[in-house]
Chain A
Amino acid sequence: AQSVTQLDSQVPVFEEAPVELRCNYSSSVSVYLFWYVQYPNQGLQLLLKYLSGSTLVKGINGFEAEFNKSQTSFHLRKPSVHISDTAEYFCAVSQRGGYQKVTFGTGTKLQVIP
């Protein structure tokens, strides 16, 4: 079984400030890790994913995440946020070698304050 914990349900941050959204996972087997963004009244959009290789993953819209196996974390970061980044962000995990059975975290609402 696998699980994902997003510790912060809401994160307010001022425009142009850096932000980190935290994600920890638990799994008995190796996993793939994902970050998705959901804008109001829309479906989810993939920001980035970690499959293997370099632990620092760069995604769209200036976001990046770092996979830390020892701490079982996959935190999402952006050095300078924009108003348009206001959305809900979901961390997700799926088992290596398995089919599409993705487990999502409960989400973090990022509110960018002008």
Chain B
Amino acid sequence: KAGVTQTPRYLIKTRGQQVTLSCSPISGHRSVSWYQQTPGQGLQFLFEYFSETQRNKGNFPGRFSGRQFSNSRSEMNVSTLELGDSALYLCASSLGSSGSTDTQYFGPGTRLTVL
């Protein structure tokens, strides 16, 4: 079974631009969660989608948004990029039916650099 894939793996943008990251979950998984990982703040939860609906949300500004498609693939968008948005963005998928007991499977991440 193929794992979680994230595209692109690396991205360089400038301040003020917007960016879209993509995540394809493991086949059969209906939940996709997004995390931001930085050296200073560690891993922080962004949001979770299940069956095309945002089911949970972390404490990030509205510039961070996401969506999920009917095939469970998910995209994350960051508008008006700031230098502090430079991070590794991780996507994790799970079956989603058992809530917080589900095992999450992580992708390799997208490394975003904002100049």
Using CB atoms and an 8 Å cutoff, list the residues of chain A in contact with chain B.
32, 36, 41-46, 49, 51, 90, 94-107
Residues of chain A with a CB closer than 8 A to B62's CB = none
B33-53 vs A, CB cutoff 8 Å, 1 = contact: the mask equals 101000000111100101000
- A94→B100 contact, CB < 8 A: yes
Looking at chain B's contact residues, the main secondary structure is strand
In the complex, chain B residues 1-41 whose Cβ is within 8 Å of any chain A Cβ = 4, 31, 33, 35
Q: How far is the CA of A104 from the CA of B35 in the complex (A)?
A: 10
Is the CB of B87 closer than 8 A to any CB of chain A?
no
Q: How far is the CA of A44 from the CA of B33 in the complex (A)?
A: 13
Q: How far is the CA of A90 from the CA of B104 in the complex (A)?
A: 14
- A102→B45 contact, CB < 8 A: yes
| Most chain B C-beta atoms within 10 Å of own C-beta, residue among A44, A49, A98, A106 | A44
Interface residues on B, range: 20 to 34
Residues of chain B with a CB closer than 8 A to A99's CB = 48, 50, 55-56, 99-100
B17 CB, nearest partner CB in chain A, Å: 25
Name the residue of chain A whose CB is nearest to the CB of B94.
A100
Is the CB of B66 closer than 8 A to any CB of chain A?
no
User: Sorted from nearest, which 3 A-B pairs have the closest CB atoms?
Assistant: A43-B106, A104-B43, A94-B100
Q: List 26 A-B contacts (CB under 8 A).
A: A32-B100, A42-B108, A42-B109, A43-B108, A44-B43, A44-B92, A45-B106, A46-B103, A46-B104, A49-B103, A94-B100, A96-B100, A98-B100, A99-B48, A99-B55, A99-B56, A99-B99, A100-B33, A100-B94, A100-B96, A100-B99, A100-B100, A100-B104, A102-B104, A104-B35, A104-B43
The contact of B90 among A43, A94, A98, A105, by CB within 8 Å, is A43
